[in-house]
Structure 1
Amino acid sequence: MSEETQVEKVTPARRGLMGSGLIVSAMTMISRVLGLARDVVIAALLGAGNGADAFFVAFKIPNFLRRLFAEGAFNQAFVPVLSEYSTSRTRQEIRELLNATAGSLTAVLALITALAMLGAPWLVWVFAPGFGRDPEKLALTADMLQLTFPYLLLISLTAFSGSVLNTWDRFAVPAFTPVLLNLSLIGAALLLMPLFDEPAMALAWGVLIAGVAQLAFQVPFLLRLGLLPTPWPHFAHEGVKRILKLMAPALFGVSVSQINLLLDTVLASLLAAGSVSWLYYSDRLVELPLGVFGVAIGTVILPALSKRHAEQSNAHFAAMLDWAIRVVLLLGLPAALALAVLAEPLLITLFHYGAMTDHDIQMAAMSLRAYAFGLLAFMLIKVLAPGFFARQDTATPVKVGIVAMVANMVFNLLLIWPLAHAGLALATALSAFMNAGLLGYLLRKQGVLVFQPGWGRFAWQLIGGSVVMSVGLYVLAPDWQAWLEFDLWQRVSWVAALVVLGAGVYFAWLAAFGLRLRHLKMHS
């Protein structure tokens, strides 16, 4: 085969899934830490008042659609098709797919963005109907949404670029890109807020700036691979039609947890002032381990599973899924327990400054514990869903997603009255467990998920280490009221000491009972 028709071999030697996962985790950790720093700044400057509520809704709407279209349905449909092209098609065919996909994605999202900006007030009313009781709050949110909604187009093209880079095993760049969003929002909060009569409006400008910066950041890396597309809409292209066919059901299948979180926002807007912000701050803490562990493993496993499916390597496919579940449990269970035990100390250390009150901390801690209960389920969904999408099966997850969404609505109605905003968080957690459980059951039933030897011993190692760690944190951590009297450095020092101690006890237990790093290796 001539050089012009060969598939471009730009992929480096395989470093293994654990190595790739560690790279994504490290970059994601930087992003999430800066994200927490961003939220510390926002909490100190805006607290949990009307301005904060308005911004969180104005940002949540395009961010929700981003996760649905970009990192959700589009990514799960695009990566398997692109992986197949990368293993069996020519360079020219790959470029034609990239051009057609980028052009079609741009055309659709540009139209959606224009319509959303024109109908911003009605869109806000749909997503936060409780804001209708306060015309000024509704108008402020609508003004912000007109600035934040173009972020959907920009970040979706960024996610498209990241999917290409991930397929060619360039995981670090897409994982680092969200850092630019956090830097933009921190800069907007510190530098632009004094320029506005409504300080929260500066954050909306920060979101728009971040969208441009993130897309521009990835362009040089696509150029280096020779994979920068020339966007041109071509909905009749064979690859685009397959992506669209896979996307339709994937809109529900992979993004159920995001839809459930959005339902929380809708209902929270009907509750006491501050409810939207309490859920936001608690969700942000849960997003740290979810992103660093769950999303990282899901990111590296999807292209690897897609390639194994294209090669019809069923045994390797099953072993990868088993490995992903073990890693998620190994890291997710202690993280969830630590969040529950240290809910108030973590919230106080990060957010109890300026406009953030003691009452806000107590309310946010309630929803944080509820979200922490569902953390394992959120993470398992991230690694189980690729087991279907890698095989280009989007019908099954959508059925599971519909069941989980209906269950979430029922749980919301049952729990919102006795537990208010915390009931909404608990409902999301319960529906996530239903979602993950059904996905795992169906993968087993289809013979795709085959548990490898050693699960009994692994379970005892995991449970024992988690219990010992949790008891140690509960006994050693000062009472949460004492944290209110600590200054910043005391708070940070205590949190750092508890995190190091908890991690040390946990991993020491695992090592003492025979778990070694080599047991977690898995080649891609």
Structure 2
Amino acid sequence: MTSTTPPNQPSSETIAPPGRGLMRSGLVVSVMTMLSRVMGLVRDVVVATLLGASDGADAFFVAFKIPNFLRRLFAEGAFNQAFVPVLSEYSSKRSKQEIRELLNAVAGSLTALLALITALAMLCAPWLIWVFAPGFGSDPEKLAMTADMLRLTFPYLLLISLTAFSGSVLNTWNRFAVPAFTPVLLNLSLIGAAIFLTPLMDEPAMALAWGVMIAGVAQLAFQVPFLMRLGLMPTPWPNFAHEGVKRILKLMAPALFGVSVSQINLLLDTVLASLLTAGSVSWLYYSDRLVELPLGVFGIAIGTVILPALSRRHAEQSQDHFAAMLDWALRVVLLLGLPAALALAVLAEPLLITLFHYGAMTDTDIQMAAMSLRAYAFGLVAFMLIKVLAPGFFARQDTKTPVKVGIIAMVANMVFNLVLIWPLAHAGLALATALSAFLNAGLLGYLLHKQGVLVFQPGWGRYAVQLLGGSALMTAGLYAVSPEWQTWLAFNLWQRVGWVAGLVGLGGALYFIWLAALGLRPRHFKMQG
């Protein structure tokens, strides 16, 4: 039965999500994301051992990067940032029936649109490779192999976008653990494909493309029971005329250039890297994978939990709480992001050696990947800030401002790329991405502050002293204790793992002991969503 309650008033049939502490929710997402990222590193160790920086590895990374880039752009980028605020508003003010009608229309419209895009992409696979990796055009065999892989990996976009839709619903109802755990299934699928399917393939890398396809099915199927348990399992039916769908599409158009700008910049790196020395694409990939660990565990986790919370506060017109949440998010990101960035820079070669220096991975590969890792690490804090500042706009259903900032950052990245690629090669591409990320984050923060949305709470001066002092102490300790990187080459696997664990423990202990000595306590980071 359709509710007669006016849209701007809460309905007695509304199934609004319960409130929950943001730190608790953030920790849940962080733990699950850490598990996913660790499994991702295990996956990359397997891939590096099997393929190294070969033509097959370059082909797979490009074939996987294209749908993965579009996933982040559409599913976790524009769609998520447009869908969650609208769904949060419905959950606060609309009836159960209206919520289900929205879910049915969005699921059906998303499926129809992405099915068409997927079919076209599979037909045009060779031309897509020309666009995303033009350097492969000089090697017909490599181009054909990459196109064949893309036909297997591109349907992942449809499957993972529907998975992201399901995850957005679960997140809005404060069920953060399931969506955060889901990426583990991708890593398990790729590891399984590498181990069990590789012997069956003429080209070993082709097994990984099949693994991507399997992962998409597994991830979507995993979330279905949890949607059913909430009573929110949709019956997909395309309805582009639905009021909620039209609002989401309107918000999505500019959002494509908003929070996903860092992904566009990484894609530009791949395009240019394909024109450099063989192996450049792989060096950037391996270094990016290490940066993705803290970015996902800290930055994306905090961004994930604050978007629905901010959206609800905006719908309730609770502006003071909205501003306090943004300030809280900035403090948490800096608390964890700053030491993580410094640790990656100091331990670049040891980390890469421990994870990837096996099989086909050479000493030169480690040195080259370490150069780009340090450049990416320089921008890690900026990458994280974008993840928590952009929701400040999207939660208020303002997607026009981030698109303007995104365009400026993309143009700047292109300029930085052209300037830095000549002296620094692939590392210059990574540094350009970092510099453009700082520009992006700076402009987002400035505009939020100017609009009165980001209001800095008292205590930032003392907080800066605490963080900077702890980071300096940690960095000095790691420099003093860690052996020269060449020494790590002689270590066996368990020696490497033991040293890394010890250094991480030492760095964490120095950092948090300093913070505790200066009076910082866990209770200072409590925030109700």
Sort the TM-score into its range (normalised by shorter chain).
over 0.9
* Pick aligned residue for 2:152 from 143, 147, 152: 147
Matched-pair contact (CA < 8 Å) for 1:61–1:127: yes
Q: Which amino acid aligns with 1:71?
A: E
* Pick aligned residue for 1:15 from 8, 15, 20: 20
State the match for 1:173 in structure 2: 178
- CA distance in structure 1 between the aligned counterparts of 2:182 and 2:317, rounded to whole angstroms: 33
Aligned length: 523
- CA distance in structure 2 between the aligned counterparts of 1:155 and 1:380, rounded to whole angstroms: 25
What is the correspondence of 1:42-53 to structure 2 with a 5 Å cutoff?
Answer: 42-53=47-58
Shift of 1:2: 11
Deviation readout 1:273-298 (Å, 9 max, x if unpaired): 00000000000000000000000000
Q: Does residue 1:32 correspond to 2:37, yes or no? A: yes
What is the correspondence of 1:225-374 to structure 2 with a 5 Å cutoff?
Answer: 225-374=230-379
Shift of 1:326: 0.3
Deviation readout 1:453-495 (Å, 9 max, x if unpaired): 0000000000000000001001100000000000000000000
Q: Which amino acid aligns with 1:453?
A: P
Matched-pair contact (CA < 8 Å) for 2:15–2:95: no
State the match for 1:512 in structure 2: 517
Q: Does residue 1:375 correspond to 2:383, yes or no? A: no
- CA distance in structure 1 between the aligned counterparts of 2:306 and 2:509, rounded to whole angstroms: 28
- CA distance in structure 1 between the aligned counterparts of 2:511 and 2:262, rounded to whole angstroms: 29
State the match for 1:491 in structure 2: 496
- CA distance in structure 1 between the aligned counterparts of 2:15 and 2:177, rounded to whole angstroms: 19
Matched-pair contact (CA < 8 Å) for 1:109–1:153: yes
Q: Which amino acid aligns with 1:297?
A: I
Q: Which amino acid aligns with 2:185?
A: L
Matched-pair contact (CA < 8 Å) for 1:65–1:152: yes
Shift of 1:254: 1.2
What is the correspondence of 1:204-219 to structure 2 with a 5 Å cutoff?
Answer: 204-219=209-224
- CA distance in structure 1 between the aligned counterparts of 2:2 and 2:255, rounded to whole angstroms: 38
Matched-pair contact (CA < 8 Å) for 1:7–1:90: yes
CA RMSD after TM alignment? 1.1
Q: Which amino acid aligns with 1:478?
A: P
Deviation readout 1:63-103 (Å, 9 max, x if unpaired): 00000110000000000000000000000000000000000
Shift of 1:9: 3.4
- Provide the secondary structure at the position in 1 that maps to 2:241: coil
Q: Which amino acid aligns with 1:131?
A: F
The percentage of aligned residue pairs carrying the same residue is 85
- CA distance in structure 2 between the aligned counterparts of 1:380 and 1:417, rounded to whole angstroms: 29
- CA distance in structure 1 between the aligned counterparts of 2:102 and 2:13, rounded to whole angstroms: 13
State the match for 2:399 in structure 1: 394
Deviation readout 1:212-236 (Å, 9 max, x if unpaired): 0000000000000000000000000
State the match for 1:83 in structure 2: 88
Q: Which amino acid aligns with 2:442?
A: G
Q: Which amino acid aligns with 2:368?
A: M
- CA distance in structure 2 between the aligned counterparts of 1:225 and 1:297, rounded to whole angstroms: 24
- CA distance in structure 1 between the aligned counterparts of 2:505 and 2:156, rounded to whole angstroms: 37
- CA distance in structure 1 between the aligned counterparts of 2:3 and 2:177, rounded to whole angstroms: 29
Q: Does residue 1:60 correspond to 2:50, yes or no? A: no
Q: Which amino acid aligns with 1:287?
A: E
State the match for 1:116 in structure 2: 121
What is the correspondence of 1:442-457 to structure 2 with a 5 Å cutoff?
Answer: 442-457=447-462
Matched-pair contact (CA < 8 Å) for 1:7–1:88: no
- CA distance in structure 2 between the aligned counterparts of 1:414 and 1:173, rounded to whole angstroms: 43
- Provide the secondary structure at the position in 2 that maps to 1:451: coil
- CA distance in structure 1 between the aligned counterparts of 2:323 and 2:407, rounded to whole angstroms: 26
Matched-pair contact (CA < 8 Å) for 1:10–1:225: no
Matched-pair contact (CA < 8 Å) for 2:413–2:432: yes
- CA distance in structure 2 between the aligned counterparts of 1:304 and 1:123, rounded to whole angstroms: 38
Deviant stretches of 4+, over 3 Å: 1-12
Matched-pair contact (CA < 8 Å) for 1:7–1:87: no
Q: TM-score, normalised by structure 2?
A: 0.98
Shift of 1:15: 3.2
Q: Which amino acid aligns with 1:156?
A: S
Q: Which amino acid aligns with 1:389?
A: F
CA 1:234/1:287 → structure 2, altered by over 3 Å: closer, same or farther? same
State the match for 2:7 in structure 1: none
What is the correspondence of 1:122-201 to structure 2 with a 5 Å cutoff?
Answer: 122-201=127-206
State the match for 2:8 in structure 1: none
- CA distance in structure 1 between the aligned counterparts of 2:299 and 2:205, rounded to whole angstroms: 31
Shift of 1:442: 0.1
CA 1:479/1:374 → structure 2, altered by over 3 Å: closer, same or farther? same
Shift of 1:28: 0.2
- Provide the secondary structure at the position in 2 that maps to 1:449: coil
Shift of 1:10: 6.7
- CA distance in structure 1 between the aligned counterparts of 2:14 and 2:293, rounded to whole angstroms: 36
- CA distance in structure 2 between the aligned counterparts of 1:481 and 1:2, rounded to whole angstroms: 70
Matched-pair contact (CA < 8 Å) for 1:7–1:86: no
Q: TM-score, normalised by structure 1?
A: 0.99
What is the correspondence of 1:457-496 to structure 2 with a 5 Å cutoff?
Answer: 457-496=462-501
Shift of 1:6: 3.6
Deviation readout 1:151-171 (Å, 9 max, x if unpaired): 000000000000000000000
* Pick aligned residue for 2:207 from 202, 206, 214: 202
- CA distance in structure 2 between the aligned counterparts of 1:7 and 1:37, rounded to whole angstroms: 46
- Provide the secondary structure at the position in 2 that maps to 1:400: helix
- CA distance in structure 1 between the aligned counterparts of 2:280 and 2:195, rounded to whole angstroms: 25
Q: Which amino acid aligns with 1:337?
A: L
- CA distance in structure 1 between the aligned counterparts of 2:177 and 2:279, rounded to whole angstroms: 37
Shift of 1:3: 9.9
- CA distance in structure 2 between the aligned counterparts of 1:344 and 1:7, rounded to whole angstroms: 57
- CA distance in structure 2 between the aligned counterparts of 1:15 and 1:390, rounded to whole angstroms: 18
Shift of 1:108: 0.5
Matched-pair contact (CA < 8 Å) for 2:54–2:279: yes
- CA distance in structure 2 between the aligned counterparts of 1:102 and 1:196, rounded to whole angstroms: 36
Q: Which amino acid aligns with 2:17?
A: T
